[in-house]
A = this chain, B = another copy of it.
Amino acid sequence: MQKLLRMTHQREVILDEIKKSSTHPTADELYERIKKKLPRISLATVYRNLEIMSESGLINKLEISGRQKRFDWDLDQHDHIYCIQCHRVDNIDLADKKDVALPADQNRGYKVAGCRVEFYGICPKCSARSQKKQKGESKKMACKSKCGSKELSEKQREILEALAKCEDACGSKDIAAATSLEPKQVSCQITALKKKGLVDSPVRCKYAITGDGKDALS
C-alpha cells in the first residue's frame, strides 16, 4: 500500500526542466521543451507526473484564478502576481502575510487549510507594448487565443474580397449582390468583421475595408 514512486528517466527530465525555469511554466510549455530531449514522450506523461510530483511534494502546483495550472520548483511559502494580458506569473514576497490570517470567528465553520493571495495587473512588457499600439482599443478581449485573431470564415473572406475590389465605401446591398449572399447574412458578417477591425464604416450604412483587412486577405 505504500505507493513508492520510481524516479524514471522521464520524471528526472521533467523535474530538471522545472528546476531550471524561472517562469512558472504550464504543462504544455514544459511538454514543448521536454520534447527536445525526449522526442517520444507523451503529453499525458507530463501531466501525470506533474500531478504525482506535486502530490508528493517535489514541486508546487499553482492554481491561478480560472486558468491554466502552472508549476513551481520553489517550495517555500510565497505568493504570486500575474499579468491579465499575457498571463505571465511572477513571485511576490509578502512580509506581513500573517496579518491575512482569518480570525477564528470569521471562518463560517470551515476548517481552514490555507490562504492564497493573488495580485494581478499588467506586466512591464505588456505595458511597453500597449504604449506603441494605442489605437486598437479592444473593449472586449476576454476571449481566448484565436478568437481575436484575424482568422476568417468562408463567408467573411468572400465579403472582404468583394470590399477590396470596391473603390470606396458601399452598402450591404451592393455587397450582397457582388457575393451572391443574402443581405441579412452580409450584415451579420459585417458586424463580425467590424469587431475584428477588418472593415470600418466611414459613413453610416457604408462599409470599407481597412488596412488590417487587406493584410488579412494576403
Contacts and interface: CB of A to CB of B under 8 A. Distances in A.
Interface in A77-105: 81, 83-84, 90-94, 96, 99-100, 102
Nearest to A125: B109
A63 interface: yes
B100 A111 contact: no
A96 B101 CA distance: 10
Indicate the size class of the contact surface on chain A.
35 or more
A121 B110 contact: yes
B109 A113 contact: no
Most chain B beta-carbon neighbours within 10 Å: one of A67, A118, A121, A122: A121
Contacts of A112: 81, 119-121
A84 B111 CA distance: 10
Contacts of A19: none
Identify which of A93, A110, A119 gathers the most chain B CB atoms within 10 Å of its CB. Answer: A110
Contacts of A100: 94, 96, 99-100, 117
Interface of A: 3, 51, 55, 63-67, 69, 81, 83-84, 90-94, 96, 99-100, 102, 106-124, 127, 139-140, 142
